[in-house]
Structure 1
Amino acid sequence: MKVALGQFAVSSDVDVNIATCRTLIRQAQARGADLLVLPEGVLARDIADPDMVLKAAQPLDGPFIEALLPETCNGPVVMLCIHVPVPDHAKVSNVLVVLRDGAVVAQYRKLHLYDAFSVQESRHVEPGDSVPPLLEIAGFKVGLMTCYDLRFPELARRLALDGADVLVAPSAWLRGPLKEDHWDLVTRARALDNTVYLVAADECGPRNIGKSIVVDPLGVPVVQAAEGPALLFAELTAERLAQARASLPVLQNRRFVRPELSGRT
């Protein structure tokens, strides 16, 4: 499977972000990508306005997603995150949306909200309440995660035990002391812990670190961006996956039961 990661700084202008996403989809298609992963929260971003997630939120049949659907009719599967209004509620959901063949084919509401390092995502966002099903893309089974989910090994392990070969994580990883080290550590660890490929596309710009990355099933970075806008490509192979799992059979050697979602969410 050929994957592409589109790293960019999200604008406060929705139309600008639509244009950026369209361009990245077309570039990924031109290079023969099977999957394009974009960052978290790509509708709109304004550092000076923490309420932007509420103001910019759109339903899945809103103009943002509708503008991108035609681009996927003959292009790659596209994964990105947007904020979606919760009916009859003052909050929104942080939803990973999967676009394929001109339609929304899957969605995952972020389970773990970023209430850490003096940030409180839960002030505006409702957490999800279910583990997402796997998708099949180019012969690989793909599990869905979002940003802060990477810090919780239970979800990655659950998806791997469900059969995932690849974990995908659109992200908006905030800058801060040691945060780049944390990013490098958790992306590599989640891949190595579960002998899966990890594909994490991160936002760049003044707020986030960038450093989008693909990690192979033995924890080796395949490709990684720097801090600026980028479109990366990587080849994921069944041979590398099989080699990793034969030499490091952690999923077979484990002694703990399959993680289940807590009722706390």
Structure 2
Amino acid sequence: MRIALSQLTTGPDPDKNLRLIEEWTQRAADSGARVVVFPEASMACFGTPLAPLAEPLDGPWADEVRRIARTTGTVVVAGMFTPAPEGRVANTLLATGPEVEASYDKIHLYDAFGYRESDTVAAGTAPRVINVDGVRLGLATCYDVRFPEMFRAHADAGAVATLLAASWGAGPGKLQQWELLVRARALDATLWIAAVDQAAPGSEPASAPTGIGHSRVAGPDGTVRHALGAEPELLVADLDVDEVAEVRQKTSVLANRRPGVWR
């Protein structure tokens, strides 16, 4: 399966970000990608008041993403914000395209490194796996990458890859953590991890995570197959679905689990 990771930088204006999504989706489609993955907060960057711009999944912003996916014949995965109770929002991944319509609300909220995502965002409650041309793909968002059980849940649901959208906070050691965690989750669950981050901005606001770039694709054996730097760039990669079964036959970490011991 050919996928594209769109490592761009979004701003506070949802309409301008839609035009970026349209441009980058067309570029990906021209490269033969079947799935185009955009970062977390593609609708609007963090540091923007989220509640006033949040829209439901049947709202105009999501409908425009659907139109872009339909026009290009691709499945588009993009981060947006949807309304949630008590004035908060859900940090939502929309997955839409021919024969695909699903969403995932971020389960693990980024209450770390001096930032409290839970002040404005309500946590999701269920993992999500989508089916594209008979290939099952898990959905995950940013801080989820620190929780291996989620990626194992994707594998248990039949996924051969997880699409990870991020707006990774900068800081000392954060790049090294990002690189390590992406590889570790691929190895934990013996599946492909396609991790797309927002590109590094020209200046880093102190109040909110934006991105550091360095999107990457890790194989089911934990090795990095493709990687970008910090600047905006499109990464197109072919995922060998059959390799997952081959690695799982050799590295039987899923089969050798003893979950009853830890309950």
- Normalising by the residue count of structure 2, what TM-score does the alignment of the two structures yield? 0.91
Distance 2:137 2:249 in 1: 20
How large is the RMSD of aligned CA atoms in angstroms? 1.9
| Mapping for residues 34-183 of structure 1, pairs under 5 Å | 34-45=34-45, 50-73=47-70, 74-86=72-84, 89-101=86-98, 105-132=101-128, 134-183=129-178
Equivalences for 1:230-241 in 2 at 5 Å? 230-241=233-244
Unaligned runs of 5+ in 1: 261-265
SS at match of 1:182: helix
Letter aligned with residue 245 of structure 2: A
Query: Is the 2:100–2:130 Cα contact (8 Å) retained in structure 1?
Result: no
Q: Is the 1:155–1:259 contact (alpha carbons within 8 Å) kept by the matching residues of 2? A: no
Q: 2:240, 2:260 → 1: CA distance?
A: 28
> Post-superposition shift, 1:51?
4.8
Structure 2 Cα separation of the partners of residues 51 and 231 of structure 1: 25
SS of the residue corresponding to residue 184 of structure 2 reads helix
Q: Residue deviations 1:174-197, cap 9 Å, x none?
A: 101110011001100000111100
What residue number does 1:225 align with? 228
More deviation, 57-66/165-174: 57-66
Q: CA deviation at 1:54?
A: 2.1
Moved more, 30-39 or 68-77: 68-77
| Distance across 2 between alignment mates of 1:258 and 1:135 | 30
Distance apart, 1:104 and its partner CA = 6.8
Q: Judge conservation of contact 2:6–2:24 (CA < 8 Å) in 1.
A: yes
Deviations 1:141-180 (A, max 9, x none): 1111111000011111122122211111111001011100
CA distance in structure 2 between the aligned counterparts of 1:240 and 1:77, rounded to whole angstroms: 22
Contact 2:12 2:48 (C-alpha < 8 Å) held by counterparts? no
One-letter code aligned to 1:120 = R
Q: 1:204 to 1:259 in 2, by over 3 A?
A: farther
State how far apart, in whole Å, the 1-side matches of 2:56 and 2:240 are. 36
Aligned 8 A contact 1:26 1:75 in 2: no
How far did 1:89 drift? 2.6
* TM-score, with structure 1 as normaliser: 0.90
Cα distance in structure 2, aligned partners of 1:29 and 1:110? 27
| Equivalent residue number for residue 8 of structure 1 | 8
Runs of 4 or more, structure 1, over 6 Å off, are: none
CA pair 125-233 structure 1, distance change in 2 beyond 3 A: same
Alignment of 1:188-227 (within 5 A): 188-206=183-201, 207-227=210-230
Determine helix, strand or coil for the equivalent of 1:169: strand
Q: Letter of the 1:10 partner, please give it.
A: T
User: What is the DSSP-based 3-state SS (H/G/I as helix, E as strand, rest coil) of the residue aligned with 1:44?
Assistant: coil
Unaligned runs of 5+ residues in structure 2 are: 202-209
CA distance in 1, matches of 2:230, 2:97: 29
SS in 2 for 1:52: coil
Q: Deviations over 1:69-89 (max 9, x none)?
A: 122124211111111112x53
Q: Say yes or no: does 1:255 pair with 2:258.
A: yes
Q: Kindly tell me: are residues 69 and 259 of structure 1, through their superposed partners in 2, closer, same or farther at Cα, counting changes over 3 Å?
A: farther
CA contact (8 A) 2:9 2:198 kept: yes
